[in-house]
Amino acid sequence: MVVRSRAPLRLSFAGGGTDVAPFPETEGGAVLSATIDRYAYGSLTPRADQRICVHSLDLGVSLDFDARDEPSFDGELDLVKAAVRRLGGDGTGPGGGFDLLLRSSAPPGSGLGSSSTMLVALVGLLREHHRLPLTDYEVAELAYQAERVDLRIRGGHQDHYAATFGGFNFIEFGERVIVNPLRVNDSVVDELQLNLLLCWTGTTRQSALIIEDQTARLAGGELETLAGLRAQKELAVAMKSALLRGELSEFGSLLGEAWKQKKRMSPLIATDFIEEAYDVAMRAGALGGKVTGAGGGGYILFYCDFARKHRLAEALTRMGGVVTDVAFERRGLTTWRA
């Protein structure tokens, strides 16, 4: 029996960085995000032997190891190894192995949480394969532990929980993570996705380097970084309120304020291209926008009234950006048997 999984990527509107230690432990973090119709996919086929064979369609990389061996983290598909080490079983007895086939709608460094989402898809596959009674909170936390603890990749919690739960969420971070699903009116969701535009910058980035710089500045007592993080948290609350009230022009303007405050957290967040694209977008009619992840590259999200959106798209395309529309996904991690 083949097992499949699918986990959605996310857009982070405000609060990014407040989910990264040590800020949530000292002040409590909050993120407003929504999942979109781009995904990390996984397929698991049981084998009659104890081999685990992995093939990443995105990277064009394959891996083959014994299920009874402790996988080593050597830079080759380590996300898979971390998930297998946490949930792969002991590999004993006949049929302890399996084939894994993986694919993502976005590359690592896109700012859409693709690496963390792939881990959620992997944990979902292994949960279904081994029939483990794990809750959504446990799935998200296992994915977080595999990436942040086992692999020591710097970052926060938000991506794992967004991909697992799906939809529009206001997520709080402190002693524990609390996911608050938002009941956004369908007409508001329709209007929001009509007025949003994603612009690909043409470059990916290593979010861990930006997050490491941000964390070092916070630990060093840099007031500008702390002020930026506190403002991000406040903006997540304000944007949640605007979204629930259906006041989307205010939401779009606050998106721009979130970008302004985000840049205070680290000088590595903005690049010349991102700043130029932002200026071009505002002159073309955008109300606001921000990068969708840690910064330094990936996607920029803009809010623009639909009547002006075509002009915005044309202006960004002329300067080398690649623009696409946004469609939201209400469901989170999904697994099934085929």
Active site residues: 159
Residue 5 tokens read as 């999984």
Q: Which residue in 77, 70, 213, 78 sits closest to 152, CA to CA?
A: 78
Q: Helices 158-165 and 136-144: crossing angle, nearest 10°?
A: 150
DSSP string, 61-86: EEEEEETTSPPP-SSSSHHHHHHHHH
Map residue 160 onto helix, strand or coil: helix
Q: Helices 272-283 and 306-318: crossing angle, nearest 10°?
A: 140
How many DSSP H helices and E strands does the chain contain?
11, 12
Which amino acid would we find at residue 274?
I
Which amino acid would we find at residue 72?
S
Q: Which residue in 295, 293, 335 sits closest to 31, CA to CA?
A: 293
Query: Backbone phi, then psi, for 173, in 5-degree steps?
Result: -130, 130
Which amino acid would we find at residue 224?
E
How far apart are alpha carbons 286 and 256 in whole angstroms? 9
How far apart are alpha carbons 41 and 117 in whole angstroms? 9
Q: What DSSP character marks residue 274?
A: H
For residue 301, the tally of other CB atoms under 10 A from its CB is 22
For residue 256, the tally of other CB atoms under 10 A from its CB is 19
Which amino acid would we find at residue 10?
R
